[in-house]
Amino acid sequence: MSLPVGDRPLVLSASGVTVRFGGLTALDAVDLQVPVGTTVGLVGPNGAGKTTLFNVISGLLRPDGGSVHLNARDITRLRPVARARQGIARTYQRSELFTELTVRQNLQLAYRARSRTHHLAFDLLGIGSRRDSEEDRVVDELLTSLDLDAMAASPTASLPLGTGRLVEVGRALAATPEIVLLDEPSAGLDEHETDRLAEALRRARAASTVAFLLVEHDVDFVLGLSERVSVLDFGRLIAVGDPDSIRADPTVRAAYLGTEIES
């Protein structure tokens, strides 16, 4: 994507999103824009509303106000399944893998959910789920780029946490989505695994027009990957900008970053 970030069309935009839990305002008229093929970081202290915003975008949570658009189409009223099929994929803070399936099956299923219809009658007769070569290509490429080839046939229940996170990212990408919401993907990963993840995300972005919305505690990881960063604090958006200006922003430093990035 050669266009400067500001000129790219928006793949996702949330405007005025408000969520209240009882008396608590978790999100207060939050606006967020993700241009096509762009990585947008979303940072903020614990309880700032990052995961709540993710749940609103992926449809698990109905907002009290505001709207969400995907490719300029209003999806505020769509169910999570419909949103997923239109191109929103996500990972979870706590692992939500399909633990009874193998690594490869996790990815295959995500690919099929987005791009294939299947019929019960064919499934019963055993002719419904023949491999197609495009599926194999997408899944194999992802397995290789995430360095998961060796464990493709292992059930995900037996994987270590870090590997599990990579599988979750792989599953999100296997759906060939427009945008992937990554909820703290590097939590629990060691340095090597974090590098592998960052590399895989860069490669995925280079190879397609997929956009990422990235929530992360590891500030260096976010600022290193993102082209634009939004900062949430107590349910309000307090800053938007490129990583350098966010690093320098005094409000942000006061609210969140503090000494963490001075290293």
Binding site for other proteins (CB under 8 A): 58-60, 79-81, 83-85, 88-90, 92, 96-102, 105-106, 108-110, 112-114, 116, 118, 120, 122-126, 128-129, 153-155, 157-158, 171, 175
Q: Which residue from 219, 240, 182 is spatially nearest to 32, judged by alpha carbons?
A: 240
Contact 41, 228 (CB under 8 A): yes
Q: Which is nearer to other proteins, 21 or 244 (CB)?
A: 21
Minimum distance, C-beta of residue 171 to other proteins, in the bound complex (Å): 7
Q: Which is nearer to other proteins, 148 or 229 (CB)?
A: 148
Beta bridge partners of 41: 214, 229
* Integer Cα distance of 55 and 181 in angstroms: 10
Contact 87, 164 (CB under 8 A): no
Contact 62, 77 (CB under 8 A): no
Q: Which is nearer to other proteins, 167 or 219 (CB)?
A: 167
Minimum distance, C-beta of residue 115 to other proteins, in the bound complex (Å): 9
Minimum distance, C-beta of residue 168 to other proteins, in the bound complex (Å): 8
Minimum distance, C-beta of residue 113 to other proteins, in the bound complex (Å): 4
Q: Which is nearer to other proteins, 83 or 205 (CB)?
A: 83
Q: Which is nearer to other proteins, 52 or 239 (CB)?
A: 52
Report phi then psi at 157, rounded to 5: -60, -30
In terms of Cβ atoms closer than 10 Å to its own Cβ (0-12, 13-18, 19+), residue 240 is middle
Sheet of 24-35, strand order: 24-35, 10-21, 65-70, 73-74
Minimum distance, C-beta of residue 141 to other proteins, in the bound complex (Å): 19
Contact 173, 204 (CB under 8 A): yes
Minimum distance, C-beta of residue 164 to other proteins, in the bound complex (Å): 12
Q: Which is nearer to other proteins, 69 or 112 (CB)?
A: 112
